[in-house]
Amino acid sequence: MPDTVTMDKIVSLARRRGFVFPSSEIYGGLGSAYDYGHYGVLLKENVKARWLEAMVRERDDIVALDSSIILHPRVWEVSGHVEGFHDPLVDCRFCKRRYRADHLDQLECGAKPSKHPGETESCDLTEPRQFNLMFQTRIGALEETGLDAYLRPETAQGIFINFKNVAQIARRKPPFGIAQIGKAFRNEITPGNFIFRTLEFEQMEMEFFVPPADAEEWLRYWIEERLNWYLRLGIRESHLRVRPHEADELSHYSSATSDIEYLFPIGWSELEGIAHRGDYDLGAHTEGSGTKLEWVDSEAGERYTPHVVEPAAGVNRSMLAFMVDAYDEEVVADRERTVLRLHPQIAPVKVAVLPLIPRNEDISGKARALYEELRRAVVAEYDDSGQIGRRYRRQDEIGTPYAFTIDEQTLEDDTITIRDRDSLAQERVPISGARAFLLDKLAEEWKTPKAD
C-alpha cells in the first residue's frame, strides 16, 4: 500500500489524540511553539530513554551531564555563536514579510502563496542580512547592573566548558564521550512545519573526545552507529539516508558534517547532524578562559587537545519522524482504521486492558486486577468507555501494541484475548501468564510491517 501520510494528517492525529497542541492557543497561538500532551510526553520520554540507553547505559566510554541553559555570556562570544550563528534573511518591501534567504524555494510568497518569494513582479526583496538566532535575556534585577545573556542555542557548549571537571572526576581517557539531553532555543524565522522546526526544542547531543589522528575514523563510526539506532527502532531504511555537507553549508565550528536525513512529507530533511568539530571548541575555550582544556597523561608524558566528533539529534524532530514513519491507514472489514505502527519500545502506552462488558462486575473486577498488575511493570491503560471497536481504534491511533480483553470466557477458564495492533491477530492466553507474555513481546526484536 502506498504511503498515505501527510503532515496535515500527523498534525490532526497529534491534536485529536493529545500528543501535541499549538502553544498559547487561547491567545491565538504562537507560531513555532507547541505544548505536549500526555501521549506526546510519554513518546518523547521513550525517545530520550532509548537514546540514553544506547549512548550511556550500554557503553562504558560515555558519561552523562546536565548543564545550565543560561551560561556565562562569554561562552557564546568565545564559541563563535555571537559572531557566526546566523541565518541570512531577506525582507519583502511589498508584502512586508521576512524570509530565510536560503529557504526561498520552500517558502510561499506572502502576496501570492502559489509562488515562492521573489517570483512575482510585485515581490521586492532586500539584499540578505545576517540575523543572529540566539535569544537574548538579562540576568539580575537591575537594568543598570544586569548582565546580557543568552538562552543556549545548543547543549554542546555546556559540555565543552565542563570538559576538565568530567575528564578528571570520571577518570576517562580519550576516546570518551559526554552526553546530554536538554532544551535549546533558537529565534527561527521560517515557520516550521509543525514540530520539525520550533523556537524551543530538546537536543540529544554527545561530544566524543578522541586523539586527533583518530577523528576521521570515529566520525565514520558515529555516522554508522546513529543510523543503526533509527533502524533498530523501526524506521524504514528506504526513508533514511546520510548526506555529507557541502563546504558552504558547514557550521562555523565544523570541518566535516554528515546529516542523517529522513524522508518527511516535506521532503528529505535533517534528522540528526554528525559533525567533526576538531579542536575548535576546546581550543577556543582554553584561549577564552585561560583554563587549559586538554588531555594530560603525566605517566605517559602525553598532552594534547582532543578532537571532537559530535552526533547531535533533536528529540522533537525524532518524535515527528517516528510518528510519520509509523502512520498507516487501512480498511478492515469495510471500516477504515488509522494506526501508529510504532516500535513497541517507543509506543507511549504498551498495553490496554479492556473489560468487554464493563457493567459486569466480575469482568471489570478481573480487568482491574490485571491492569493493576501490569501498570507496575509498564505504562498501561484501562479503558471501559464505549463500544469495544471504538476502544480498539483509539488504542490503534496512539500506537498501543497490545490490547488485553477480559470477557465472559475469562470468568469460565481464566484466559484473556490478546489483540496484536499490527496483524490484528487474536489469541487466548491464561490471565496468569499475561504479564510475562507482554514483557517477552516488548523485549523482542521488532520490524515494521509497513512496506520499505
Please report how close the Cβ of residue 92 comes to ligand GAP at its closest, in angstroms: 23
Which of 20, 47, 156, 339 touches ligand GAP (CB under 6 A)? 156
The interface region with ligand GAP, picked from 20-28, 200-208, 346-354, 439-447 by CB under 6 A, is 200-208
For the CA atoms of the chain, what is the radius of gyration? 25
Query: Which residues are within 8 A (CB) of 281 and not within 5 positions of it... i.e. 6 or more apart?
Result: 79, 156, 157, 160, 253, 308
Burial 405-439 (b: 16+ CB within 10 A, else e): bbbeebeeeebbbbbebeeeeeeeeebeebbebbe
Closer CB to ligand GAP, 230 or 404, in the complex: 230
Binding region for ligand GAP (CB under 6 A) out of 1-9, 267-275, 407-415, 440-448 = 267-275
Residue 314 contacts ligand GAP per CB under 6 A: yes
Site string for ligand GAP, 205-244 (x = CB under 6 A): x---------------------------------------
- Shortest distance in whole angstroms from residue 240 CB to ligand GAP: 13
**Is 179 in contact with 205 (CB distance < 8 Å)?**
yes
Residue closest to ligand GAP when measured from CB atoms: 314
Residue 343 within binding range of ligand GAP, rule CB under 6 A:
no
The 3-state DSSP class for residue 335 equals: strand
Q: Does 322 bind ligand GAP (CB under 6 A)?
A: no
Among 178, 233, 313, 353, binds ligand GAP (CB under 6 A): 313
Write down the least CB distance from residue 52 to ligand GAP, Å. 16
Residues 423-442 that bind ligand GAP (CB under 6 A): none
* Residue 256 to residue 310: CA distance in whole angstroms: 11
Nearer to ligand GAP, 158 or 401 (CB): 158
Give the DSSP H/E element, type plus range, for residue 373.
Answer: helix 361-375
Of the candidate residues 261, 272, 328, 407, the single one contacting ligand GAP (CB under 6 A)? 272
What is the rounded CA–CA span in Å between residue 344 and residue 401?
6
Lateral strand order in the sheet of 380-382: 380-382, 351-355, 402-406, 415-420, 426-430
Residue 326 and residue 234 in contact, taking contact as beta carbons nearer than 8 Å? yes
Q: What are phi and psi of 180, to 5 degrees?
A: -150, 140
Q: Does 317 bind ligand GAP (CB under 6 A)?
A: yes
> 10 Å Cβ neighbour count for 132?
18
Could you list the residues that contact ligand GAP (CB under 6 A)?
154, 156, 186, 188, 197-198, 201, 203, 205, 270-273, 310, 312-314, 316-317
